[in-house]
Amino acid sequence: MSKRHLTFICQNCGAAASRWQGKCEACGEWNTLSEEGAERPAGPGRKPGRGRLFELQPLAGEAHEAPRLPTGIAEFDRVTGGGFVRGSVLLMAGDPGIGKSTLLIQTTAALARAGHRAVYISGEEAVGQVRLRAERLGLRDAAVELASETSVEDIIATVSEKQVPKLLIIDSIQTMWTDTVESAPGTVTQVRGAAQALIRFAKKHGSAIILVGHVTKDGQIAGPRVVEHMVDAVLSFEGEGSHQFRILRAVKNRFGPTDEIGVFEMTGAGLREVSNPSELFLSERDLGSPGTAVFAGIEGTRPLLVEIQALVAPSSLGTPRRAVVGWDQSRLSMVLAVLEAHCGVRLGGHDVYLNVAGGMRINEPAADLAAAAALVSSLAHAPLPADAVYFGEVSLSGAIRPVAQSAARLKEAAKLGFARAVVPEAARADGDGGLKVTDVGSLASLVADIAANGSLNQAGKTAGQDG
C-alpha cells in the first residue's frame, strides 16, 4: 500500500483518504468523499528528483508598490480596500442567483470604459447570453472582451497573446478544468488545479483575477472552500432571496480591511450602489408596533442603522422555539438568559423570533441592547419610541458595557432624523451628536423603563400560567 493510492477526496474540505468512508475524518461532513485521479506533478517532462535552479533575491530591492486598480464602483472599492491589487486573485463566493455575474459584468464594463483591458470568461453561459444581459444593463458600449470557455490552459494562452488584461473574470471556477489534473471538472482536485494555474498566471503577469465560486451545500459540486486559502482575498456576496439588498463583504483580504461592507440594490437594470444604506434599511419601518428597535451599528468605518424585530409569543411546544435571522443564535441565547436571570423576565414558556430587517447580518455585540429592547417590547406589548436608537453590549452580569465609536453612531442617528438614543453610560463622553441621550447602566433598568409603558406584568403572568 503506497501513499500514491490516496484517491478519495472530500468534496467539502479537500482532504484525501486511501479508501472510501461515509464520513470525512478531516471536516466531519457525511457523503462527501469521491474517487478522483491523483494529481500529476506540474511541469510535465521534467526529470524526477532534480529541480530547476532559480535566482534568490535580496529583501531590499526594487519593490512593486501594489498599485491599485479602482473600479469606480465605490461600494466595491471600499470592500477591496481601494481597488484590485495587481497580480492578486480574489474569490467571489455566493449562492447561485445572488447576482455575482451581474456585478462582475458591471465591474468589467466600468474598467473597460476607463480604458483598461478587461476580459470576462464565462464557463456557464454562452457569449450570446452574457451579451443579452450586458445589453439590458446598458453596457453595450464598453469594450469588454468576452468568451465562453472552460479550459484554463486555453484561457491563459489566449489572454497572454496580447498585452495581458488588467482584470480577468473567471465565472465560475467550478466549471474550469486543467490538463495537469485527471479528475472530472467540478471536483475538488480540478478546482484546485485550475485555481493554481490561474494564480500562477496572475502573479507572473500582474493581472488581477476574480474567480467566481458558487457555494453549494451538497457535496455534488466542489465548494470553493478549498480555494479560500490559496487566494489573496475572499469576498462574499450575500442577500436574502426575497430582498433586493445585496451585501458584499470581505471575509479575507491580504491587501485591505475585512470589516467593510458594500451595499447594493438589485434593480431591473442591474446592481445599483447604495451609498447611504441606513436610509434604505429603515425605509420600510413598521412604526408604532411593539417588538422593533433601531440599532445604531458600525460596519467597518461606516455607521449603519438597522431595525431589529422581535416576536415573543406564548408557546404550545414543550421546548419553545428560538429562531433568529441575521444575528448570532448564541448571542440571542445569552441575552435571553440575562433577561431571565437578572431582569425577572420569564421567557421559558414563550417562542422567541428575532430578525434583522432588510436581509442584513449583524456581527457586533453592540446589538445586544437593541435586541433586548425589541424582545422586551414585544413581550410587554409596549412599542418603543419611534425616534430612538439603541446600542450597547450586555454582559453576563446584566450590566451594559460601552462599545467603540459611539460618536459616529450618534451622528448617523441624528443625520437620519432620530431624536433619542439609549446607550451605555460611558457613551456620552464622546458628545451626544445633538440627540437626547439616555444612558442605562443595567439591562434591568431598561426592562423597567419599557415595562412601565406596557403590560409586562400581565405578560409575565401569562408566562407563569403556561409554565
* Interaction site with Mg ion (CB under 5 A): 101
Least Cβ distance, residue 332 to ligand TYD (angstroms): 30
Q: Taking the CA of residue 193 as centre, how many other CA atoms within 13 Å lie in the half-sphere pointing to its CB?
A: 28
132-141, Cβ contacts within 8 angstroms, sequence gap of 24 or more: 133/101, 133/102, 133/105, 134/105, 134/109, 136/269, 136/270, 137/102, 137/105, 137/106, 137/109, 137/269, 137/270, 138/269, 139/105, 139/106, 139/109, 141/113
CA distance 413 to 303: 9
Asked if 234 and 250 count as a contact pair (C-beta separation under 8 A), the reply is yes
Residue 99 site contact among Mg ion, ligand TYD, none (CB < 5 to 8 Å, cut-off depends on kind): ligand TYD
Residue 230 site contact among ligand TYD, Mg ion, none (CB < 5 to 8 Å, cut-off depends on kind): none
Closer residue to Mg ion, CB minimum distance, 32 or 108: 108
Burial class (CB in 10 A: 0-12, 13-18, 19+), 452: exposed
Least Cβ distance, residue 201 to Mg ion (angstroms): 22
- State the CB neighbour count (10 A cutoff) for residue 269: 9
Closer residue to ligand TYD, CB minimum distance, 145 or 265: 265
Residue 136 site contact among Mg ion, ligand TYD, none (CB < 5 to 8 Å, cut-off depends on kind): ligand TYD
Closer residue to ligand TYD, CB minimum distance, 106 or 207: 106
Least Cβ distance, residue 280 to ligand TYD (angstroms): 16
Burial class (CB in 10 A: 0-12, 13-18, 19+), 140: exposed
Closer residue to ligand TYD, CB minimum distance, 14 or 99: 99
Closer residue to Mg ion, CB minimum distance, 123 or 277: 123
What is the widest separation between alpha-carbon atoms in the chain?
Answer: 83
Which residue has the closest beta carbon to Mg ion?
Answer: 101
CA distance 75 to 81: 10
User: Do strands 350-356 and 302-314 pair parallel, antiparallel, or not at all (unpaired)?
Assistant: antiparallel
Residue 98 site contact among ligand TYD, Mg ion, none (CB < 5 to 8 Å, cut-off depends on kind): ligand TYD
Least Cβ distance, residue 169 to ligand TYD (angstroms): 11
Least Cβ distance, residue 175 to Mg ion (angstroms): 10
Asked if 442 and 424 count as a contact pair (C-beta separation under 8 A), the reply is no
Least Cβ distance, residue 43 to ligand TYD (angstroms): 34
Q: Any alpha helices (H) in 56-205, and if so which ranges?
A: 74-80, 100-113, 127-136, 152-159, 188-205
Contact residues toward ligand TYD (CB under 6 A) are: 94, 96-102, 133, 136-137, 266, 268-270
Backbone angles phi, psi at 219, to 5 degrees: -80, 5
Closer residue to ligand TYD, CB minimum distance, 102 or 278: 102
Residue 315 site contact among ligand TYD, Mg ion, none (CB < 5 to 8 Å, cut-off depends on kind): none
Q: Give a three-class secondary structure readout of 395-459.
A: CCCCEEECCCCHHHHHHHHHHCCCCEEEEEHHHHHHCCCCCEEEEECEHHHHHHHHHHCCCHHHH
Closer residue to Mg ion, CB minimum distance, 103 or 394: 103
Least Cβ distance, residue 5 to Mg ion (angstroms): 37
Residue 59 site contact among Mg ion, ligand TYD, none (CB < 5 to 8 Å, cut-off depends on kind): none
Residue bearing cell 425577572 = 344
The residue count of the chain comes to 467
Grid coordinates belonging to 177: 478544468
Residue 269 site contact among Mg ion, ligand TYD, none (CB < 5 to 8 Å, cut-off depends on kind): ligand TYD
Least Cβ distance, residue 94 to ligand TYD (angstroms): 6
Closer residue to ligand TYD, CB minimum distance, 41 or 268: 268
Closer residue to Mg ion, CB minimum distance, 101 or 315: 101
Lateral strand order in the sheet of 245-253: 145-148, 118-122, 167-171, 208-214, 89-94, 233-238, 245-253, 261-267, 270-273
Q: Any alpha helices (H) in 282-361, and if so which ranges?
A: 329-343
Closer residue to Mg ion, CB minimum distance, 9 or 91: 91
Least Cβ distance, residue 135 to ligand TYD (angstroms): 10
Closer residue to ligand TYD, CB minimum distance, 271 or 444: 271
Residue 102 site contact among ligand TYD, Mg ion, none (CB < 5 to 8 Å, cut-off depends on kind): ligand TYD
Least Cβ distance, residue 212 to ligand TYD (angstroms): 7
Residue 358 site contact among Mg ion, ligand TYD, none (CB < 5 to 8 Å, cut-off depends on kind): none
Q: Taking the CA of residue 275 as centre, how many other CA atoms within 13 Å lie in the half-sphere pointing to its CB?
A: 3
Least Cβ distance, residue 167 to ligand TYD (angstroms): 17
